[in-house]
Structure 1
Amino acid sequence: MTDTTRQEDDSAAVKETSFITAVIRAMENDRPDPYLSDPHAVLLSTPRSRTMAREALAAGGTVGSVIVRGRFGDIALGRAVAEGIGQVVCLAAGSDTRAWRLPLPAGTRFFEIDLPGQLEAKEQLLAPVRDRLTCRRVRLSEDLRSGTWPQRLTAAGYTPDEPAVWIIEGLLPYLRTEHFTRLLDDVAKMSGHGSVLLIDAPHADYFRDPANERFLAFMRARGSAFQLGLEDFGGFLGSRGWQAEAYTLRQLAEGACGWLPAPPGRLCPPHDHHWVARARLA
């Protein structure tokens, strides 16, 4: 398989799973006791994405990492904006609905970057709630592995010398190590003093746990790299210039993060080995 063919397969995997997460958020929103509220996710729950979500969950996929990182990111983003940060960059934005559902200040610039066609499809599905946008949203179609996205982001109005909130959720399982490290280095170079990084990643134990073998095979069959797991996420981010607080889902369920309501046990099953982190540029 050539590098080009491999990248095309990986891109297809990312696109397919993007709206699966919207289905999971819609399911959570419909619960009588939702940990995460996302009333717009149902608009992204197409028949195809619902079918894929059923298949993924039947194969052993979990909902916890999607829901917990969503609540974690919502609160951290709200705090950063309240501190005065006026630009947000959501990489691999996929089915993220924060620009529509969070009460962001009107002056906030909210940049979304994803593969060509992904954000256009989301906009069409979210057309019924387009009036809910309170911020200035900017859409960029770009493959984050290309190396050209920083220049395009700047050309679109992003200011590298000012602090920003960076959101990178659900992407790292689909990146190879060299792409991941280059992406973090590019983000650091584009970040002004006081910038915040909100990011998640699988723990290395996810790939060692026999309970996840069926789901990993399911993902590999769909072209996903799904191989990047980290023993010490906070330490890794520190080595790339970020001062991080990183938690596993189990630690969050035990109340380890003082500013996040502890997620219920149903969202933190023993085999969902996953990290979420908030970091500032050192």
Structure 2
Amino acid sequence: MTDGTRRDDGHTAVKETSFITAVIRAMENDRPDAYLADPHAALLSTPRSRALAQEALAAGGTVGSVIVRGRFGDIALGEAMAEGITQVVCLAAGGDTRAWRLPLPADTRFFEIDLPGQLEAKDALLAPVEDRITCRRVTLGDDLRGSTWPRRLGDAGYDRARPSVWIVEGLLPYLEFEHFARLLMRIEEMSSPGSVLLADAPHAAYFRDPANAPFLAFMQARGSAFRLGLEDFGGLLNRCGWQAEAYTLRQLAAGGCPWVPAPPERLCPPRDHHWVARARLA
């Protein structure tokens, strides 16, 4: 796999992973008992992304974290919209299709940021359903580890004085802790009281579980290694100034979150140690 992965810009493997998750969402959408509905994910399911998804799943990758965080985020985003928040920032937006598949209010500004070229590729694949977008979508190509994206987001119309929903899905595993801490700090600096943060991350136990060793080795070999695991995601967010509620997949399966339907056991296997979190800035 290492020889077959392009290294032209240093980001190719991570960029491709976002479309692997779209394949997983398309597979879930086709199930009669689907926990997450994403009818547009199939458009992002290209021959290459399907082949990569098959390799990842054969190496021991799991689908639960992708599907559960999607449903968790959909519900939380809907509640925030109902409260009157009309500004959304989706970081590392990759294959996210919420601007297409959710009936977002027309006055909502939905900002998407990802590595240069990623969102253009998604737009091309989703061109057949571009008329499904009901909000005002704005895209930016930038590296979230850098320092330019906050300024560019403001230049694109983001208003720091208004509450926002920040979506950070599928990004944190690839960050060093220093980059993660800096990202959290910048999000807080750009947020007004009442803003909501939706995020997910591996539990530290994911890296300790022998059952996950083949998949971690696979991701390392293809240039998109998992780096960040957290023992207490909610506690960390609380210490960073947010009021957080965080759940593992197993806790959700046991009905531990009162506002999210319990996902089925098939999506929460014991080895998929993963956090999902919703946090609000006081």
TM-score, normalization: structure 2? 0.96
Per-residue CA distance 1:89-133 (angstroms, 9 max, x = gap): 000000000000000000000000000000000000000000000
Residue equivalent to 2:259: 259
Q: Are the aligned partners of 1:249 and 1:268 in contact in 2 as well (CA < 8 Å)?
A: yes
| Alpha-carbon distance in 1 for matches of 2:63, 2:165 | 25
CA RMSD, 1 decimal: 1.1
| Alpha-carbon distance in 1 for matches of 2:8, 2:92 | 15
Q: Are the aligned partners of 1:163 and 1:193 in contact in 2 as well (CA < 8 Å)?
A: yes
Which 10-residue stretch deviates more, 50-59 or 232-241?
Answer: 232-241
Shift of 1:12: 2.2
Residue equivalent to 2:4: none
| Alpha-carbon distance in 1 for matches of 2:249, 2:158 | 33
| Alpha-carbon distance in 2 for matches of 1:235, 1:29 | 33
Residue equivalent to 1:278: 278
Residue equivalent to 2:176: 176
Residue equivalent to 1:3: none
| Alpha-carbon distance in 1 for matches of 2:13, 2:158 | 29
Shift of 1:13: 2.5
Q: How many equivalent pairs are there?
A: 276
| Alpha-carbon distance in 2 for matches of 1:198, 1:240 | 14
Shift of 1:7: 12
| Alpha-carbon distance in 1 for matches of 2:266, 2:254 | 13
Distance of aligned partners of 1:262 and 1:93 in 2 relative to their CA distance in 1, 3 Å threshold: same
Q: How does 1:160-239 map to 2 (within 5 A)?
A: 160-239=160-239
Task: Tell me if 1:106 matches 2:110.
Answer: no
3-state SS in 2 of match to 1:201:
strand
| Alpha-carbon distance in 1 for matches of 2:190, 2:14 | 24
Residue equivalent to 1:31: 31
Shift of 1:69: 0.1
| Alpha-carbon distance in 2 for matches of 1:105, 1:37 | 19
Residue equivalent to 2:3: none
Shift of 1:55: 0.1
Per-residue CA distance 1:218-264 (angstroms, 9 max, x = gap): 00001123120000000011111111000000000000000000000
3-state SS in 1 of match to 2:26:
helix
Task: Tell me if 1:56 matches 2:56.
Answer: yes
TM-score, normalization: structure 1? 0.96
Residue equivalent to 1:268: 268
Q: Are the aligned partners of 1:176 and 1:225 in contact in 2 as well (CA < 8 Å)?
A: no
Which 10-residue stretch deviates more, 192-201 or 217-226?
Answer: 217-226
Q: Are the aligned partners of 2:253 and 2:265 in contact in 1 as well (CA < 8 Å)?
A: yes
Gaps of 5+ in 1: 1-5
Residue equivalent to 2:150: 150
| Alpha-carbon distance in 1 for matches of 2:190, 2:236 | 19
Q: Are the aligned partners of 1:119 and 1:141 in contact in 2 as well (CA < 8 Å)?
A: yes
| Alpha-carbon distance in 2 for matches of 1:57, 1:244 | 31
| Alpha-carbon distance in 2 for matches of 1:163, 1:137 | 17
| Alpha-carbon distance in 1 for matches of 2:34, 2:249 | 17
3-state SS in 1 of match to 2:70:
helix
Moved over 2 A (4+): 6-9
- The alignment-based identity, stated in percent, is 78
Which 10-residue stretch deviates more, 156-165 or 220-229?
Answer: 220-229
